[in-house]
Chains A and B, each alone.
Chain A
């Protein structure tokens, strides 16, 4: 499982960008693409190769005014999933 201290970054060849045609965020990777849901989009926007997962959680806790115990497992699970799909490394 992913640790909170880990610093996530996009893997080589992965791009996270806004698609105007669909009015949605898309995650483009070698020969695959993902349409992240709203929660994942908010998380992905904070991935910059500098922030740790803990810092990402803190940011979301502050912005969405939600308890850390609720946000943290969601964020960790999202990163586990993104890692398994080869989109993110941490």
Chain B
């Protein structure tokens, strides 16, 4: 479907989800429940074309993610290709496959930055959450390799009910690994995170503890280490600017080539997401219904339309509006102005009352009952 609309400013970032394959099985993985099979993945040449089009369109940074991007044998090729087009290249990886040889190849290819995800500050919790024995130690080794190679490092820690007590230790680990940037990111409740919400959603006291620790660490580490902090929306009064606004800053391309305004958008009904196999990124960005529909402020429902925050949070997250309020075009329920805001408090109460909740690991077919 084509929508003429006004000309949109170029996108800043491309999130290239190379594959859904991953040796880990984190309970909060943001990938969709229907994981894409390897046979459906874009080929190397198709990804090269996407990178060319992205650079021409004005994309400045490419984030190779997944799944585990290192599960693709052509990752090094793609990094080299992106780098030759002047794109800033970033890999978001679990690090368990980042051997000396792999890192040397990535360096040759011109990699600019690596984000390493950690499941916890201590081995037992980390290997449990990742479902991969020995994973944590491999990550520590990977972090040291990145450091020794002189590359910048982001250490990403995903926080939830079961590890919120260790936020201080997570920051200390990031410091010990000499990361330039530490991300303390609460689980976002989409995909597998939503399935496992009762086992993962922290209490208000836990959240407040995390926030206090992060704020103190930011003061202490100012000018040395950047700490980015992402909160769960369930205690918020205002939503986050999801993806910096729909179709405003990012294009996400799924392993099978679907172009999405956000990696969770595939769950939205009533959309036909364009595929990079059929259309150019430029056409998708400028004209596709999928990117135009919630872009800017014209689509907004009532409290947002006249709200002075409308160009700050862009009305929040469409996927959360769907998941909680049942309507993707509604105000994000994280906003206190949303008629569905109370549903978040209900979810908090449900998670607090839940004991011994079985966790569903992220793997092919496990979300189907």
Contact = CB atoms under 8 A, between A and B. Distances in A.
B60 A26 contact: yes
Contacts of A31: 61, 63, 90, 113, 115, 154, 181, 228
A30 B180 contact: yes
B12 interface: yes
Contacts, number: 56
B58 A12 contact: no
Interface in B47-75: 56-58, 60-61, 63
B226 interface: yes
Given A11-B180, A84-B222, A86-B180, A30 B90 contact: yes
Pick from A19, A22, A86 the residue with the most CB of B within 10 Å. Answer: A86
Nearest to A89: B223
Interface string A20-48: 01100010101101000000000000000
A69 to B, nearest CB: 26
A13 B58 contact: no
Contacts of A13: 112-113, 151-152, 180
Q: How large is the interface on B (under 10, 10 to 19, 20 to 34, 35 or more residues)?
A: 20 to 34
A17 B228 CA distance: 24
B180 A12 contact: yes
A33 B152 contact: no
A85 interface: yes
B360 to A, nearest CB: 29
A15 interface: yes
B86 interface: yes
A34 B181 CA distance: 16
Interface residues of A, number: 17
Contact of B152 (A12, A21, A22, A84): A12
B10 interface: yes
Interface in B113-128: 113, 115
A30 B181 contact: yes
B88 A15 contact: yes
Given A30-B180, A31-B115, A85 B150 contact: no
Interface of B: 10, 12, 56-58, 60-61, 63, 86, 88, 90, 112-113, 115, 150-152, 154, 180-181, 222-223, 225-226, 228
10 contacts: A13-B113, A17-B86, A21-B10, A21-B57, A30-B115, A31-B63, A31-B115, A31-B154, A33-B12, A86-B226
Given A11-B180, A12-B151, A30-B180, 16 more contacts: A12-B152, A13-B151, A15-B112, A19-B60, A21-B57, A21-B58, A22-B58, A28-B60, A30-B154, A31-B154, A31-B181, A33-B60, A84-B223, A85-B226, A86-B223, A86-B225
Q: Closest 6 interchain pairs by CB?
A: A13-B152, A21-B58, A86-B226, A30-B113, A12-B152, A28-B88
